[in-house]
């Protein structure tokens, strides 16, 4: 007869739907994910958790992508740097490629509505990073990020994408072909949320943090100095002591984030592709 015991994978997937990692980190340090989930069910006065079906939900979601957990060989060890905010698991398309991709991952990110100069810089930097054997990692978003993926792909190298929504659809939606092409070309796409989950302010912030944690370094091409995903990634990278490499800012308001990070000496100026590669060596 099939086992009725809840697996660690199903328990972690269920916990991830209902809790932020830091809310259960202390419990998971001393108890199994299955026990933590059951404790939550038993003490949930609303009855909402009791109505959730972890096995069925996981099985349905894994028709789209795989749920990777810390005990898997594919799990990116660098995520431990997030401490109590380390994800409970990752939804992944192309999960078998993760260890190879994350070992030399470098984020190339920036504005969704960049200047033409920023797009030119993105193509040059992403081409050089990919050509040197690093995994260009970004978010599929308009502007700098999708340009970085496409430039790296033209060199014949696989990329890694981090999405703020479920992997059943692209974000933005009209980048569906780009989403499909990444795992098909030996790359991977990851998300913190299960298929069917739409992007929100919360998921955008969390995925920007995930992007910074997954990579060896962040290359910021151009960013507005406000709460935008690229600046969130840059700030987290600096906090995690990941090298933060900043392209020369244009004299456009869209580059004021670059100016601030350089003025605060939280980032290193990289005038050209050769400087990026030197910083990564």
pLDDT one-digit tens code per residue, 234-264:
999 999 999 999 999 988 999 999 999 999 9
Segment 11-26 shows an average pLDDT of 97
What pLDDT score was predicted for residue 250?
A: 85
Cβ atoms 14, 33 nearer than 8 A = no
Q: Give the chain's mean pLDDT.
A: 95
Segment 98-122 shows an average pLDDT of 96
Q: What is the CA radius of gyration of the chain?
A: 19
Segment 88-107 shows an average pLDDT of 95
Confidence of residue 2 (pLDDT cuts 50, 70, 90): very low
Segment 196-216 shows an average pLDDT of 96
Count helices and strands in the chain by DSSP H and E runs:
13, 9
Tally of CA atoms within 13 A in the half-sphere of 239 that contains its CB: 13
Q: Is the dihedral of CA 261, 243, 129, 193 positive or negative?
A: negative
What pLDDT score was predicted for residue 154?
A: 96
Coil/strand/helix, residue 245: strand
At residue 3, does pLDDT exceed 60? no
What pLDDT score was predicted for residue 227?
A: 75
Q: How far is CA 256 from CA 148, 198, 248, 249, in A?
A: 21, 30, 11, 8
Q: What is the DSSP string of 53-78?
A: -HHHHHHHHTTT-EEE-TTSTTS-GG
Beta strands 244-246; 217-220: pairing state: parallel
Cβ atoms 153, 127 nearer than 8 A = no
Segment 169-191 shows an average pLDDT of 94
> What is the b/e burial string over 126-146, where b = at least 16 CB atoms within 10 angstroms of the residue's CB?
bbbbbebebbbbbbbbebbbb
- Cα–Cα nearest to 257, from 132, 139, 131, 112: 112
At residue 4, does pLDDT exceed 70? no
At residue 1, does pLDDT exceed 80? no
Portion of the chain with pLDDT greater than 70, in percent: 99
Confidence of residue 25 (pLDDT cuts 50, 70, 90): very high
What pLDDT score was predicted for residue 228?
A: 87
Segment 151-177 shows an average pLDDT of 95
Burial of 5 from C-beta contacts in 10 A (0-12 / 13-18 / 19+) = exposed
At residue 26, does pLDDT exceed 90? yes
Cβ atoms 122, 142 nearer than 8 A = no
CB within 8 A of 165, min separation 6: which ones? 171, 191, 193, 197, 198, 199, 203
Please tell me whether the overall predicted TM-score, pTM, comes out greater than 0.75 for this model: yes
What pLDDT score was predicted for residue 251?
A: 86
Sheet holding 217-220, edge to edge: 66-68, 90-93, 188-191, 160-163, 135-138, 105-109, 217-220, 244-246, 268-269
Range of weakest confidence among 33-42, 118-127, 224-233, 266-275:
224-233
């Amino acid at each position: 007869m099939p086992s009725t015991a809840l697996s660690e994978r199903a328990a972690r997937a269920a916990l991830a739907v209902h809790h932020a990692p830091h809310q259960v980190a202390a419990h998971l340090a001393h108890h199994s994910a299955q026990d933590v989930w059951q404790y939550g069910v038993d003490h949930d006065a609303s009855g909402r958790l009791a109505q959730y079906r972890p096995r069925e939900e996981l099985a349905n979601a894994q028709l789209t992508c795989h749920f990777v957990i810390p005990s898997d060989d594919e799990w990116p060890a660098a995520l431990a740097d997030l401490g109590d905010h380390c994800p409970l698991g990752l939804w992944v398309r192309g999960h078998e490629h993760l260890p190879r991709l994350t070992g030399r991952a470098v984020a190339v990110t920036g504005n969704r509505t960049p200047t033409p100069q920023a797009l030119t810089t993105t193509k040059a930097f992403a081409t050089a990073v990919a050509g040197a054997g690093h995994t260009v990692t970004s978010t599929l978003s308009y502007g700098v990020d999708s340009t970085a993926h496409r430039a790296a792909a033209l060199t014949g190298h696989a990329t890694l994408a981090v999405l703020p929504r479920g992997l059943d659809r692209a974000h933005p939606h009209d980048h569906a072909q780009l989403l499909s092409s990444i795992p098909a070309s030996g790359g991977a796409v990851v998300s913190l949320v299960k298929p069917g989950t739409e992007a929100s302010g919360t998921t955008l912030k969390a995925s920007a943090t995930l992007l910074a944690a997954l990579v060896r370094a962040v290359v910021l091409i151009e960013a507005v100095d406000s709460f935008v995903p690229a600046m969130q990634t840059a700030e987290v990278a600096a906090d995690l002591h990941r090298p933060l490499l900043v392209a020369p800012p244009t004299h456009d308001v869209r580059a004021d984030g670059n100016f601030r990070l350089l003025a605060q000496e939280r980032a290193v100026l990289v005038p050209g592709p050769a400087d990026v590669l030197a910083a990564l060596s």
